[in-house]
Amino acid sequence: MIRSVVRGTGAALPRRIMKNADFEGMVETSDEWIAQRTGIRQRHIAADDETTASLGEAAARAALADAGLTPDDIDLVVLATSTPNNTFPATAVEIQNRLGMRHGFAFDMQAVCSGFVYAMTTADLYIRGGLAKRVLVIGSETFSRILDWSDRSTCVLFGDGAGAVVLEAGDGAGTIADRGVLAASLRSDGSHKEKLFVDGGPSTTGTVGHLRMEGREVFKHAVGMITDVIEATFSAAGITADDLDWFVPHQANKRIIDASAKKLGIAEQKVVVTVDLHGNTSAASVPLALSVAVADGRIKKGDLVLLEAMGGGFTWGAILVRW
C-alpha cells in the first residue's frame, strides 16, 4: 500500500518582529489585553521585499535541505495561500520557477486557514494515485497586506510567514503502524461566509480589500467544528485521543486551542503551541508549528501526529500522520 511519508520540514519568517506593545500607539489596545484574549505576544510582518512567493521559496528550500533533496527530486508543488503575489498566475508556479524547476507541475489552493490541511490531503491523493512521487506542500501568507490597521479586533491577530513539508511515496502494510498520512477529514459550509471574509476581490470590487471578522461568532463555531473533523479522523483510523503523541492545531487563539484539546481529551503536554510567537499566519500556521516542534526534537520518527485547522468559509479539516 502506498503511503505519503513526511521526508522533511522547513519554515521562513519575515525579518521584522512586531510586539503587542507596538500596537499601543496605533489602536486602543495593550499587551495585556491581546495576550489575555489570544495568547499572542508577537508576530512577524513582511517588509516590502518579502512576499508570499519569497517566503514560500525560503520555506521550501529549508524543507528540501531537511529532506536531503533538491528541486530536481520534486514532481509537484502545492501552495496553500489566501494572499498570492498576483491574481494569476498561481504563486506556486512562481515558487516553482524560483526553485529552478522546469519539470512537474504546480498550483495554488485557497481554503484560508485550513489551506495547508487541504493541500496536504490533496498531495496525499496525488501520491497515492501515482501522479507524483514527491510533493512540496507549502503554506505561505502575507496577511499584513490585507489587514485594516485601524481595526483593533483584527490587526493584532495576524502575522506573516511560511512553512513547508516534503511528502514522499512510501510502502505501508495498510495498518495504523504505517508511516505517513493515515486518515483525513475535510469540511466546508459557505453559509458562514460573512463571519470571516475579505471585503474585496477582482470579480466584485476590483480591489484587494481588507479582512473582516465577527470574532465572537468564529469562536462560538470553532470548537464544535474542529472536534467534528477530528473525531471523524479518529474513527477512520480506529484510534482515540490517548493514542496521539502530538496535536498540532491551527494557531489562531490560545483559548480555542485549549478548549478544543480539553473537549477531545487531548493532554495539554501533547499540544504544540506557537501562537505566542507567530500570531495567526493562516495557511502557514500549521506547518510553522510543525517545523518548530520537529526542530526542537519534540516530534520524532514514529510519532502519531494530528494536524487540524479551521478558516474562513467556513472551511475546516484534520489529518493524521505517522511521522
pLDDT tens-digit series, residues 111-125? 999 999 999 999 999
Nearest-angstrom CA–CA distance, 254 and 242:
21
Q: Of the residues 20, 85, 253, 280, which is catalytic?
A: 280
Contact 77, 104 (CB under 8 A): yes
pLDDT of residue 25: 87
**Residue range 14-58, pLDDT digits in tens:** 999 999 999 998 999 999 999 999 999 999 999 999 999 999 999
Q: CB atoms < 10 A from the CB of 322, how many?
A: 22
The grid cell for 277 is 510567537
Contact 25, 241 (CB under 8 A): no
Distances (CA, A) of 183 to 180, 230, 316: 9, 10, 15
280 flagged as catalytic: yes
Distances (CA, A) of 60 to 66, 256, 265: 10, 29, 34
The grid cell for 289 is 508549528
pLDDT of residue 305: 98
Nearest-angstrom CA–CA distance, 118 and 231:
17
Check: pTM over 0.85? Answer yes or no. yes
- Residue-averaged pLDDT of the chain: 97
155 flagged as catalytic: no
Contact 164, 139 (CB under 8 A): yes
Q: Of the residues 44, 192, 210, 250, which is catalytic?
A: 250
Residues of the chain with pLDDT under 70: none
Q: Which amino acid is at 8?
A: G
The DSSP bridge pattern shows strands 211-213 and 160-171 to be unpaired
Q: Which alpha helices (H) appear in the chain, and where do they start and end?
A: 31-38, 52-67, 91-98, 115-128, 152-155, 215-237, 254-264, 275-278, 285-295
Nearest-angstrom CA–CA distance, 160 and 55:
9
Q: Of the residues 113, 155, 192, 253, which is catalytic?
A: 113
